[in-house]
Amino acid sequence: MRQFKAGMLCILSAVVLSACEKSEDSEAEQALKNVNVIDESNLNDIMLTASDPDEAVAYFQRTSSENPERLDLQRGLAKSLIRARRATEGAVVWSRVAQHEDATNEDRIAYADALIRNGEWKKAETTLDSIPPTVENFDRYRLEAMIADSNKEWKKADSFYATAVDLTTQPGNVLNNWGYSKLTRGKYAEAERLFSEAITYDPRLFTAKNNLVLARGAQKNYTLPLIRVTQSERAQLLHTMALAAVKQGDLDIGKTLLERAIETHPQHFEAAVRSLRKLDNG
């Protein structure tokens, strides 16, 4: 009897030890899995921000094909395609994400953004209209403003632009878009003000600097604004101002500005040379 009890104790001990080992193995596997998820999440963020756009596309194409059920990887692929200026492919992937049962309103807004980049304005408008009006954020109003612009609904555009500006601490690009909208409507003074404001938020925004020169040129103001520029940028802005003067019929001023642009540029300024040659040849 004693031998039987001893045998049972040994068996029970072995079972307990086996269960403990399995439990410890399971916990260890889960811990490693959690660490891998954290590491992968960090890597995904790095690929979306610091990585070369084409490298990010390749990474998310590979990982999403290996894990087709992962919506976050599909989002990463869509974002990286947009970063790589592959809007057509990005719109296709965002379409899949937006139609997923776990898609969010932010996904649909990103899909609308991809459609606009791809020139599909009506489809983008329909996509935004499907989002409840209670969803109010910077990207939504920025896109709504651009769509209103494309429909020449100026009052709506101005209202959406103003709201978007209030919803971000970095409104440089949206102010530039708003200014360009005013420029196309012939409201040059208002456009000039908006471009100037955009530059105060982002002094590196060359598009806004160039647009500012166009707005001043349209008012026959052919002096460069007092903004921070590199020597190369200054030459390019003089070239833009010269073309604006020529368009206004002020040919002598245009010629002088072209000559200054050529002299200012630190290298050979082929575009300005061609413009001057055309002007000299009538």
Q: Where are the domains of the chain?
A: 54-112
Where does the pLDDT of residue 66 fall: very low under 50, low under 70, confident under 90, or very high at 90 and above?
very high
What is the dihedral sign for C-alpha 209, 211, 214, 215?
negative
Where does the pLDDT of residue 26 fall: very low under 50, low under 70, confident under 90, or very high at 90 and above?
low
Question: In Å, how far are 84, 237, 272 from 269, measured between CA atoms?
Answer: 29, 12, 6
Distance (Å, whole) CA 64 – CA 73? 5
Question: In Å, how far are 37, 82, 200, 263 from 76, measured between CA atoms?
Answer: 15, 10, 32, 46
Residue 117's pLDDT is 95
Question: In Å, how far are 74, 110, 218 from 51, measured between CA atoms?
Answer: 17, 20, 41
Where does the pLDDT of residue 125 fall: very low under 50, low under 70, confident under 90, or very high at 90 and above?
very high
- Selected residue with higher pLDDT from 29 and 278: 278
Residue 14's pLDDT is 45
Least confident piece of the model among 26-35, 172-181, 226-235: 26-35
- For residue 79, report the phi and psi dihedrals to the nearest 5 degrees: -65, -40
Question: In Å, how far are 1, 11, 21 from 4, measured between CA atoms?
Answer: 5, 11, 25
Alpha helices in 204-250 (DSSP H): 206-218, 231-247
Residue 281's pLDDT is 87
Structure tokens at 69: 């059920």
The pLDDT of residue 22 is above 90? no
Residue 32's pLDDT is 37
- Selected residue with higher pLDDT from 272 and 18: 272
Please state, rounded to an integer, the average pLDDT across all residues of the chain: 88
Q: Are 43 and 20 in contact (CB under 8 A)?
A: no
Least confident piece of the model among 10-24, 101-115, 167-181: 10-24
Residue 46's pLDDT is 83
Provide, rounded to the nearest whole percent, the portion of the chain with pLDDT above 90: 78
What is the CA angle 268-274-276, rounded to 5? 100
Question: In Å, how far are 86, 95, 98, 155, 175 from 124, measured between CA atoms?
Answer: 17, 11, 12, 20, 21
Residue 282's pLDDT is 74
Which candidate, 148, 204, 203, 136, places its Cα nearest to that of 177? 148
Residue 40's pLDDT is 60
The pLDDT of residue 39 is above 70? no
Structure tokens at 139: 């990207």
For the stretch 185-223, pLDDT in tens is: 999 999 999 999 999 999 999 999 999 999 999 999 999
Residue 201's pLDDT is 97
The pLDDT of residue 12 is above 70? no
Residue 78's pLDDT is 95
The pLDDT of residue 4 is above 90? no
Of the CA atoms within 13 Å of residue 230, those in its CB half-sphere come to 9
Indicate the Cα dihedral angle 22, 24, 28, 29, nearest 10°. Answer: 20
